[in-house]
């Protein structure tokens, strides 16, 4: 089969690889229909974080179940599924509490293990019963899905669920004024999530015209294009000095985290999903403002099952709009380059027909 393989900094190649099989009875193998490139892939693509050469890549995909191990009971070949970016047992106290992306029995597809890469024609899914999200109706129904619907479903493997995690951790509730820090695909999905949870007013922090437009399309009422101290002043000004009732931190840098904490109303929670790089939290400052900080790897499966899959199937949200360029697997190198150079918000990979 074809698979995207990391060869070194800024080198991704589409290569021939061995098609995976279930390595134990709890696994399944999925034929990938759509995959994509994640903002977090850029960390190792750019050499900012380490990754072994020769490793398979990608952690976002939807597709058709191809083979199941003997103990897999929740899906069977022909079912149409979403694979979240992390696999999880589904039965431990952490999973039961709804934090399956930090399940101690699970792991990340991005870890580079053979066969787990989602940017490939087939991928292996460990702990299948605790991991995948089934789209009702199987392959038969999925054949009728528009490209737009498939794009929307693909975002439920990561970005839409991650944006929703930020909003849920920030406890966005009806009537809130919500600020979203970060205009990548996750931040834009955070805008959708805030709207879905009933926010009354959404302030998106974005310095890029194309992303500002999309944020508005997704429900943002105000755009703050300033950064740092000026962004804080602007959000404070927009909220009569009080700050936002809930803040979504979708970047993970030191500056973005400081901004997020500084624009939170006293007592508000900063829901964070940006993978932290050199973050710093002032424990006294947050204490004296009763500012909460909560989040981490997103509970994609939980949010898909509770709210997002229904919202996508009903056509009430269109997160697939974040894919602004598409490629086939042979052109995966270009898909990365365009993300790296920010000429696309998020790169879609069309891998096979439903």
Residues that bind its own copies (CB under 8 A): 92-94, 97-99, 101-104, 169, 241-242, 245, 257, 265-269, 272, 275-276, 279-281, 283-284, 286-297, 299
Q: How far is the CB of 265 from its own copies (least distance, A)?
A: 6
| Closest approach of its own copies to the CB of residue 34, in Å | 27
**Cα–Cα dist 2/229, whole Å:** 47
Closest CA to 327 of 346, 308, 312, 342: 346
DSSP H or E segment with residue 7: strand 2-8
Closer by beta carbon to its own copies, 50 or else 93: 93
In the complex with its own copies, the residue whose CB is nearer, 98 or 114, is: 98
Sequence-separated (6 or more) residues with CB below 8 Å from residue 318: 148, 152
Give me the least distance between CB of 179 and its own copies, in Å please: 14
Size of the chain in residues = 354
Our CB check for its own copies shows the closer of 289 and 350 to be 289
- Distance in Å, CB of 224 to its own copies, minimum: 19
Query: Residue 253 or residue 352: which is nearer to its own copies going by CB?
Result: 253
Residue 112 CB, nearest approach to its own copies (Å): 17
CA distance to 2, 41, 130, 156, 298, per residue, from 117 (Å): 11, 12, 18, 17, 19
Closest separation between CB of residue 93 and its own copies, Å? 5
Q: Is residue 248 classed as helix, strand or coil in its secondary structure?
A: strand
Q: Would you say 252 and 274 are in contact if contact means Cβ atoms under 8 Å apart?
A: yes
Secondary structure tally for the chain: helices H, strands E: 14, 18
Angle between the N-to-C axes of helices 147-155 and 159-169, in degrees from 0 to 180, rounded to the nearest 10: 50
Beta strand 2-8 pairing with 11-16: antiparallel
Minimum distance, C-beta of residue 304 to its own copies, in the bound complex (Å)? 17
Alpha-carbon span 282 to 261, nearest angstrom: 9
């Amino acid at each position: 089969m074809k698979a995207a393989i990391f060869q070194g900094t800024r080198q991704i190649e589409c290569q021939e690889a061995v098609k995976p099989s279930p390595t134990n009875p709890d696994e399944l193998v999925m034929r990938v229909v759509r995959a994509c490139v994640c903002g977090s892939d850029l960390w190792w693509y750019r050499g900012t974080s380490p990754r072994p050469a020769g490793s398979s890549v990608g952690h976002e995909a939807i597709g058709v179940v191809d083979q199941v191990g003997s103990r897999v009971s929740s899906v069977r070949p022909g079912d149409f599924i979403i694979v979240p970016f992390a696999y999880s047992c589904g039965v431990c106290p952490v999973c039961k509490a709804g934090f399956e992306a930090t399940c101690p029995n699970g792991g990340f597809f991005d870890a580079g293990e053979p066969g787990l890469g989602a940017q490939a024609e087939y991928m292996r899914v460990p702990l299948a019963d605790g991991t995948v999200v089934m789209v009702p109706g199987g392959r038969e129904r999925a054949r009728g899905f528009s490209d737009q619907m498939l794009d929307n479903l693909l975002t439920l493997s990561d970005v839409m669920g991650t944006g929703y995690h930020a909003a849920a951790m920030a406890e966005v509730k009806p009537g809130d004024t919500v600020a979203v820090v970060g205009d990548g695909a996750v931040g834009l999905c955070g805008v959708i999530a805030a709207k879905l949870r009933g926010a009354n007013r959404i302030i998106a922090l974005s310095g890029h015209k194309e992303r500002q437009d999309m944020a508005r399309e997704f429900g943002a009422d105000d755009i703050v294009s300033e950064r740092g101290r000026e962004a804080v002043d602007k959000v404070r000004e927009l909220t009569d000095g009080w700050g936002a009732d809930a803040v979504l931190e979708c970047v993970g840098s030191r500056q973005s985290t400081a901004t997020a904490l500084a624009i939170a109303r006293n007592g508000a929670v900063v829901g964070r999903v940006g993978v932290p790089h050199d973050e710093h939290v002032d424990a006294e400052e947050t204490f004296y403002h009763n500012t909460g900080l909560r989040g981490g790897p997103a509970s994609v499966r939980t949010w898909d099952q509770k709210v997002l899959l229904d919202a996508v199937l009903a056509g009430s949200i269109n997160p697939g709009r974040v894919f602004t360029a598409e490629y086939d697997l042979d052109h995966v190198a270009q898909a990365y380059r365009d993300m790296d150079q920010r000429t696309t918000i998020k790169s879609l990979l069309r891998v096979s027909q439903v």
